[in-house]
Structure 1
């Protein structure tokens, strides 16, 4: 997931004098900022006040300049965007990762003020008029101009005064509701308790890490690591069911009400522009273009997977029927899927999945993805000793492996802790452009005991987002990678994630971790073969999520829970009464609203991209072409042009169909 907190970053840590001289005062100013200095709520509020004052003053100067000389608008607007990043970037981001609750609260308040300031800027009619009058010098400027025009028009700069005020009020209310929805999830402290016997099947190492109450019961939270362990490995159906039912209550009825309000506000906002639905409003400028095209894509994909999905479910049902732990005649339930899918993989390709964690400690997994980038993309990584927001966080500097050129910085915060963002995402904190060093933060919640191949896939996926942010080198910061259409943004990361299943990539592991116990060839082969199973069920679930998102944001208003209940009830396993999944579906509350289909849309592109790497994923010539034709341009070219430039032809779906078939 590529997350956009709407904030700015810094390039803390010392830069050499030659670099400072080459990059000039922007790099020097960024280098002087220190993350660790933001150690309390008061300090954060002061920096927020200063940054917003500077942004308002620079916005006023931009309006005066645009009136006097529209020809300087694009570079002047870029400087304003860069200043927003450099002064404010860490602040909203710290709401996701800082250990202090008071500071997280202050960061969320600052984020709301940032969003309001951006809305005010983008409602300036004088800037919209200047953009409309601007004569672009070339296709790159023409695309940037069109992108900025859409930004101002969508903010309401072209609306009458009353409607502009309504747009601002709706955006303010929307930001509050979204933040409250996310807060209900990130600050969830509920626990569920099980005896050791109830958790039979979980590895001893996992159980030893779980805290216990006075009666000796294990206390479990609902982070990604714990949920995966319980639902996949717990042998008792009652344990899996109890955990799943409580997990599916995250957010509760309050978040269902917030989701309904959020979609209603989006509907009112789209209506200000005469657009029939939030989905139609959001899909303007994306590859799909409109909801009908996106839904037709989902329909076509669903028809392709239906037979395989039915066959996969039948196999799991048969496995459950033969399980002495299951009640006679019981039907396969949602809390059973991960467990029996894991057991079926074991039956077909016997191996101990958890054993892989012994061979892939977190440091080795990190170094492996760095080695992939070095071999394929010509990058070099150096750790920077700089205090950050938590002792677990790390800072890494990227350089070109050939000439040592400085590329940017990567922040890593990879393991779960209370109050931290609970999923996996990359936050693009500072966009690349001439004279600017990009900065990205990769945030995850991986098991500190070690990585499975699924974990490695997730790390590679997020690392792909980070590389996209760091390697983009557009002329203007507002054409950075984050500005690409949402249904393309996932393609580079989804391409890279497939390398977790390539033995040629995993063969690098002894080089990066000589002290690691080598993975036995039989274990690795079985694990890789097992990963080919269950793809139709996975895609089927993603299709359900995507269809729900589009219909929820469609032309016909529908209560969130009623719509979900109807759609899930029509799926092969049906709906479980009392489960409240939409109350925790945070993707569609944030920047993926009416865009969840983009994961599958981009996966088709990613599979075709991967076909170019099929002969050798570590081929530096192909990697260099990938870096230069797909990642480096940022949003200076439309996705179709990037696809053509890399593949030498238009997009095809053949590679995705082969992937679906397990090939």
Structure 2
């Protein structure tokens, strides 16, 4: 193929990929040429007669692989947000080939010899701080990739990496298929009792799209406790919804077997690289540094979280027994969200459905998320309807700094569809780099239920939180100001990457921000002040449930990756392993399933969070401490925003993350604000 939109840099603003020109048949040839070009560039580095220098080795590596980066960034965004049988096949083919390509670079003995020589003389090279960190990080990456293994060890490592990549891709594709297959189709309108009219209309539209005219279809989100359980009044329908949710990925779906396979391969790889288990390997280059540090932190939270949840269960059970005749007297997993919502509404006079009219997507986006970014950081946004996204629902915004200079592009893809993976995430289509002269192009993906034609998209409070959260990741990418692409944007340790996004959640409830976007979609009336007060007070209700649900997933992830050697998982049954892991952790609570069960735990079996799901609460320690700093009244929010952006958001991975935190906070992080926030101390 001689004509391919990936073969040359995009001529569109900010090098936005030319999606209008890209076809599925372009991806594989672009991947293949991209890999070949990068291997040729690496060969040129190792064949050079000149002695290794920072410029001819490390900087040359940073410049390599431009075509491969272009196609990979575009393709893997498509594969997760608008997949098709064609992209699924391409992903299944290319994932193991890309793993082998990575190994060809990081296991190249001549290339590692040059890196090793530079690393040994690093104090003599006259490097500035960012250059020195780049060299050190490259050396660490080569070592952790197995560059120090003998020939037999490297051969086995290559095979393991290829198998893991193929299995992870299969898990992700199975997960989408299983979620789509588990949709709950209802034939009787009475079964929808409790749902708001807009939700009923959306369910009818969903059924029509699935060829079930006259029915209603409730699709699943990629979590255990489906949000719709808060509203469904029919207990049997709730039970069926929960059964569909918890059963995904097991048995015929095959992800339970794949999970065991992936964990086994990772355990073998860790042992080959000299680590007792994958978790120890995974956290070595994270801010946690050691498995023991993670276990100490998680262990500190379990008992008080369970105690909170037990108190909540007692209250919900009493409410259920007093108000319902169709129960067996026991609070089940499918009852928890429903009765929690009833008790919350009674105690705080807050009805989740009554809040939706105040959270219309367009207003929340422009007058909430964008408004907060303008108030805190001075940035502004202009929609670019002349620029085309990868799907008709994708919107493109140009972002400008306070002085009017261009920062980059933000793409928003907000609605769920069968071709999109579950959850919410941020991707980078173009990374910022002063070396390469590029500005960032970032994408936020959400899974908001698309309303019926002509109806507004009304959000839940959780949807609002997700919108602010993911935009925090977007700001991390947009504010990047580094020389080397290695460090750009969110290229930071996994247990630090959630920190900026969690901080950005704070603005959703700040009075001036909330007052600006929380307006009734029909009347424009501002949400009443007393309702705001009740809503904020209700925020803390159910914290025990949320913490236990999260810890169940975090410690399940940890159990799968703390296994000492591949042989320990021989013949393992995923459901039995899961049950034993939760019991050992003190979290085997039938009424509170973990946020993700093994069969659909995409974060760890097909994403980048293996032995890293702990990072959400690890990052929340920093987040809670930072919120205290932002709101201490010492200086204005705008001044604080300038400092936070300069010292942390703009630095990417170019400085040690905890050093970046301490640079604006003035000290090491404290855990007490988190414990108070989650109700784990008085």
Q: Is the shorter-chain TM-score for this pair beyond 0.5, marking a shared fold? A: yes
Counterpart position of 1:116 = 100
Counterpart position of 2:192 = 199
Is the 1:382–1:397 contact (alpha carbons within 8 Å) kept by the matching residues of 2?
A: yes
Aligned counterpart in structure 1 of residue 250 of structure 2, from 252, 257, 260: 252
Secondary structure at the residue paired with 1:482?
coil
In structure 2, how many angstroms separate the alpha carbons of the residues matched to 1:565 and 1:555? Answer: 15
Secondary structure at the residue paired with 1:426?
strand
Task: Give CA deviations for 1:377-408 in whole Å, capped at 9, x if unaligned.
Answer: 1212122221222110012222212x222222
Is the 1:395–1:411 contact (alpha carbons within 8 Å) kept by the matching residues of 2?
A: yes
Q: Which 4+ runs in 1 deviate beyond 6 A?
A: 8-11, 510-515
In structure 1, how many angstroms separate the alpha carbons of the residues matched to 2:358 and 2:618? Answer: 34
Structure-2 change in CA distance of 1:447 and 1:520 (3 Å): farther
Structure-2 change in CA distance of 1:606 and 1:371 (3 Å): same
Tell whether 2:603 aligns with 1:587: yes
In structure 2, how many angstroms separate the alpha carbons of the residues matched to 1:336 and 1:9? Answer: 54
Counterpart position of 2:454 = none
Tell whether 2:29 aligns with 1:46: yes
In structure 2, how many angstroms separate the alpha carbons of the residues matched to 1:528 and 1:318? Answer: 24
Is the 2:427–2:442 contact (alpha carbons within 8 Å) kept by the matching residues of 1?
A: yes
Deviation of 1:181 (Å): 0.6
Aligned counterpart in structure 1 of residue 515 of structure 2, from 507, 510, 518: 507
In structure 2, how many angstroms separate the alpha carbons of the residues matched to 1:37 and 1:261? Answer: 39
Counterpart position of 1:20 = none
Q: CA RMSD, aligned part only?
A: 2.9
Secondary structure at the residue paired with 2:286?
coil
Structure-2 change in CA distance of 1:375 and 1:125 (3 Å): same
For structure 1, the 5+ residue unaligned runs are 1-7, 16-26
Counterpart position of 2:555 = 547
Secondary structure at the residue paired with 1:322?
helix
Deviation of 1:359 (Å): 2.2
Tell whether 2:472 aligns with 1:464: yes
Counterpart position of 1:422 = 422
Tell whether 2:24 aligns with 1:34: no
Tell whether 2:31 aligns with 1:59: no
Mapping of residues 69-84 of structure 1, within 5 Å: 69-72=52-55, 73-80=57-64, 82-84=66-68
Tell whether 2:188 aligns with 1:184: no
Counterpart position of 2:391 = 390
Structure-2 change in CA distance of 1:11 and 1:608 (3 Å): farther
Counterpart position of 1:311 = 311
Is the 1:81–1:478 contact (alpha carbons within 8 Å) kept by the matching residues of 2?
A: no
In structure 1, how many angstroms separate the alpha carbons of the residues matched to 2:361 and 2:240? Answer: 30
Task: Give CA deviations for 1:339-389 in whole Å, capped at 9, x if unaligned.
Answer: 112111101111332233222221112112011111101212122221222
Counterpart position of 2:353 = 354
In structure 2, how many angstroms separate the alpha carbons of the residues matched to 1:121 and 1:145? Answer: 16
Counterpart position of 1:533 = 541
Name the TM-score, length of structure 1 as normaliser: 0.90
Secondary structure at the residue paired with 2:589?
coil
In structure 2, how many angstroms separate the alpha carbons of the residues matched to 1:165 and 1:225? Answer: 38
Aligned counterpart in structure 1 of residue 649 of structure 2, from 624, 628, 631: 631
In structure 1, how many angstroms separate the alpha carbons of the residues matched to 2:83 and 2:608? Answer: 24
Is the 2:34–2:66 contact (alpha carbons within 8 Å) kept by the matching residues of 1?
A: no
Is the 1:427–1:440 contact (alpha carbons within 8 Å) kept by the matching residues of 2?
A: yes
In structure 2, how many angstroms separate the alpha carbons of the residues matched to 1:10 and 1:464? Answer: 31
In structure 2, how many angstroms separate the alpha carbons of the residues matched to 1:369 and 1:388? Answer: 21
Is the 2:520–2:526 contact (alpha carbons within 8 Å) kept by the matching residues of 1?
A: no
In structure 1, how many angstroms separate the alpha carbons of the residues matched to 2:596 and 2:70? Answer: 40
Secondary structure at the residue paired with 2:284?
coil
Structure-2 change in CA distance of 1:404 and 1:109 (3 Å): farther
In structure 2, how many angstroms separate the alpha carbons of the residues matched to 1:499 and 1:624? Answer: 16
Tell whether 2:85 aligns with 1:101: yes
The count of aligned residue pairs is 639
Task: Give CA deviations for 1:448-505 in whole Å, capped at 9, x if unaligned.
Answer: 4211221111111111111112212122111223332211111111111133233232
Structure-2 change in CA distance of 1:34 and 1:111 (3 Å): farther
Name the TM-score, length of structure 2 as normaliser: 0.87
Structure-2 change in CA distance of 1:489 and 1:406 (3 Å): same
Counterpart position of 1:210 = 203
